[in-house]
């Protein structure tokens, strides 16, 4: 069984949170709408970086071929070096949040409970490697049915509702698709594209490369680059 802390993190991703009034101003500042993508990339790591947002499939685990979904733990193949990369982020004090579109739930291919079960097993494996994910947020809806399917901002709003200290200005988004990069860009985050398996590229790959602030082959390489950029940003901010 997953620990109580792991269950608490999983429950955070199950519900569509309504922000309290105390958090609404912060959410309003971060709200964005379809078609509004910032024309200017961030290009630098925030010197006060606090939160790393991660896509799931293609970043943490292998992405299935086009038209197929990660529907069970048997399909959930963790990519090389991922537990160690997450542990490094944990050690330097960064909050790690997974934001994932799971349209397969809406299509009836698997359930939200199946997603939670996969995440619980992933959490147990990470714990054995001295790593953790602080929260999972999942959109189980089909396209054009909600405000939480990336690149719309709903999953970010859920994170802010749960962790009111989160801001886009002190966050980075790491993903493997155009939707992920647009999600981060619209909110004003620094963005990192994981290029991953080039044989499983999807539409928008070239545009994602052009929009992303950086691109790397894998999450471990991105964490290497993030660590260097963060150290340099901290050094340059010192008086």
The residues carrying an active-site annotation are 55, 57
- Asked if 26 contacts 160 with a C-beta cutoff of 8 angstroms, the reply is yes
Task: Find where tokens 């719309």 sit.
Answer: 152
Q: Quick one: CA dihedral 118, 8, 45, 81, positive or negative?
A: negative
Query: Coil, helix or strand for 134?
Result: coil
For the chain, the residue count is 239
Q: Check the CA dihedral 147-7-160-195 and report its sign.
A: negative
Q: What tokens does 226 get?
A: 């993030």
At residue 68, what are phi and psi to the nearest 5 degrees? -115, 160
Strands, E assignment, the chain: 51-54, 95-101, 135-139, 171-175, 190-194, 214-216
Cα 93 to Cα 88, 104, 210, distances in angstroms: 9, 33, 30
144 close to 137: Cβ distance less than 8 angstroms: no
Identify whether the C-beta of residue 192 lies closer than 8 Å to the C-beta of residue 222.
Answer: yes
């Amino acid at each position: 069984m997953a620990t109580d802390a792991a269950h608490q993190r999983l429950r955070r991703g199950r519900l569509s949170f309504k922000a309290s009034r105390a958090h609404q101003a912060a959410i309003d500042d971060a709200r964005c709408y379809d078609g509004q993508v910032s024309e200017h990339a961030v290009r630098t790591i925030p010197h006060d970086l606090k939160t790393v947002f991660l896509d799931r499939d293609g970043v943490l685990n292998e992405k299935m071929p086009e038209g197929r979904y990660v529907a069970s733990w048997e399909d959930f193949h963790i990519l090389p070096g991922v537990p160690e990369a997450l542990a490094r982020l944990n050690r330097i004090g960064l909050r790690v949040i997974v934001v994932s579109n799971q349209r397969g739930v809406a299509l009836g291919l698997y359930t939200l409970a199946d997603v939670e079960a996969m995440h619980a097993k992933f959490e147990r494996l990470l714990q054995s490697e001295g790593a953790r994910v602080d929260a999972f947020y999942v959109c189980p809806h089909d396209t054009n049915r909600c405000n939480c399917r990336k690149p719309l901002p709903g999953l970010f709003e859920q994170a802010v509702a749960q962790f009111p200290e989160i801001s886009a200005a002190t966050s980075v988004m790491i993903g493997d698709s155009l939707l992920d990069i647009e999600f981060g860009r619209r909110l004003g985050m620094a963005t990192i594209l994981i290029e991953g398996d080039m044989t499983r590229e999807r539409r928008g790959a070239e545009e994602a490369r052009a929009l992303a602030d950086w691109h790397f082959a894998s999450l471990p390489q991105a964490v290497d680059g993030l660590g260097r950029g963060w150290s340099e940003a901290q050094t340059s901010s010192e008086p």
